[in-house]
Amino acid sequence: MTLSLKRWQKKSVKKSVQMSFLTTLKSGHSPIASGYSSDIYLIDGKITKVLEDGCYDDILKEVVIQQAAADAGLAPQVYSVFEVSGAVVIVMEAIDTNRLKPVVSNTPIGYNPRELGSLSTRDMILGSKLFAQLISCGIIHADFHVQNWLKYQDKVIALDFGTADFIEDASLRYLQKAVRSIIPALALINEYGLIYSMAESSDRAELRTLLRKASALLLSVSELSTTT
């Protein structure tokens, strides 16, 4: 799939502005969260994600994929992305963390991410339907662990599209990880034939077709209602 980059054309930021931006940010604000390569700040009601030594082109692709999910109501909106000296900065919609919470709380950095199948049935269904909705939007999220999606009642959103791709461009490894993510929900509705077909396939085109079929099925069957 060809990335639509016009909206996110690279912005030229003067060096003096770059230095003052990072200096002001770090001296005047404390991060609300930190990862292996990024710090996240809440500034003026928006999330500012600073990726130290980030590659602009790689992060630009992440932004385009996240915005595609956001346009479908499945992820936070992205407002801007720009490069400063030593970092790439993404400004995006703030999440209502008073309501939206991780499906598993208090997971430390380095925690071995839990698979969907190890969650309660209700949470597994919520996560699987979100994953299926992403596939229906043409997105493969290849790092769909419990820290990368949030829930509030039946509302769910996905986070962190750094390890994601459009389904047409996704590698065989990404597609196979997607298969593993949705197997528990397919097993719940006894779709063992479809599970077998996906598990045995090593053809990207076939896997794309099967994943689209599986996602449509998961979004349509009443047995996967979280309200019953």
**CATH assignment of 6-93, among 3.40.50.300, 3.30.200.20, 1.10.240.10, 3.10.20.740:** 3.30.200.20
CB of 59 within 8 A of CB of 90? yes
Structure tokens at 45: 């009601």
Rounded-to-integer distance, Cα 99 and Cα 137, Å: 25
Residue 10 has pLDDT above 60, yes or no: no
Please name every residue paired with 101 in a beta bridge, in sequence order, or none if there are none. Answer: 151
pLDDT for res 128: 94
Model confidence pLDDT, tens digit, residues 89-142: 899 998 887 888 877 776 555 444 557 888 888 999 999 999 999 999 999 999
Write the Ramachandran bin of 4: left for phi over 0, alpha for psi from -120 to 50, otherwise beta: beta
Fold of 101-220: Transferase(Phosphotransferase); domain 1 (1.10.510)
Handedness of CA 62, 35, 48, 152 (dihedral sign): positive
Question: Would you give the DSSP letter of residue 214?
Answer: H
Model confidence pLDDT, tens digit, residues 15-41: 545 556 677 777 777 888 777 778 888
Residue from 114, 112, 148 nearest 130 by CA: 148
Model confidence pLDDT, tens digit, residues 38-94: 888 888 889 989 888 778 888 899 999 999 999 999 999 999 998 887 788 899 998
Q: What is the CA radius of gyration of the chain?
A: 19
pTM over 0.75, yes/no? yes
Reported as a pLDDT band with limits 50, 70 and 90, residue 228 is: very low
* Mean pLDDT of the region 142-146: 86
The full DSSP string for 45-88 is TEEEEEEET--HHHHHHHHHHHHHHHHTTSSPPEEEEEEETTEE
Rounded-to-integer distance, Cα 222 and Cα 226, Å: 9
Domain positions in the chain: 6-93, 101-220
pLDDT for res 34: 76
